[in-house]
Structure formats: C-alpha cells, structure tokens
Amino acid sequence: MSKREAHRRFHFTPKSLKRRMASGNLEKGSPGPEGVFGNTNEKRLVVHTQRLAAAGFAPNKNTVRRLAYNFAEKLKLKQKFSHNSGLTFNIIRKKPRSVNKTS
C-alpha cells in the first residue's frame, strides 16, 4: 500500500505516516502520558466493569473508583491513589454537554 493510499484509507497525513514509519511506531495511541494501569490492564478493568453492568450490578462512580484502587493494589502498581479512603482520585470525567443550536 502506498503512503497516499494509506492517507486516504486511514485519514491521517502523509507526514505523520512518514514520521511513524521512520520511528517504527505504527500504533495509534492517545495523546499525553500513559495511565497508571497501562492499556492492557485498563482494558481488563473496563471489561470487568461492563460484565458487572451486564449482570445487573451497574456500578456507580465511587464503585468504579474503589475497583480501580483495589485493582492497582492487587497488581502492585506504583500509583497516586488515596490510601486512606481506598479510592482512586477522580478518574472518571464527565462528558461535556453538547449544545444544540436551533435556528
């Protein structure tokens, strides 16, 4: 596949593709530093939370924070969580409200 075809197919600039090919990093990541859990463990936590919800135990925000804290403790990850409360810091951010403009 040519760079131009890859640009059209995957919607990123040829310059970005050239830079990624030169560095050998072809994986698309999110901007900013990687989270405490890493991608693999974060996916495990998401799957666990989704399974709880599917089984009828829809966890609220504090339950997810407590699960995340216990998960990090079990994996012995270096973390910045509150050891007193047994909760993570606020890892869940509210989605911004969409403003519907009607004219």
Instruction: Quote the pLDDT of residue 69.
Output: 85
Tell me: pLDDT of 103 over 50.
Answer: no
**What's the token pair of residue 91?**
């890892």
**Is the entire prediction scored with pTM above 0.85?**
no
DSSP labels for 18-62? HHHHHHT------SS---SSHHHHHHHHHHHHHHHHHTT----HH
Report domain extents, the chain: 59-91
pLDDT tens-digit readout, 57-100: 888 888 888 888 888 888 888 776 666 666 665 555 555 454 45
pLDDT tens-digit readout, 16-55: 778 878 888 777 766 777 777 888 888 898 899 999 999 9
**What's the token pair of residue 16?**
């970005």
Show Cβ contacts of residue 26 under 8 Å, excluding neighbours closer than 6 positions.
Answer: 20
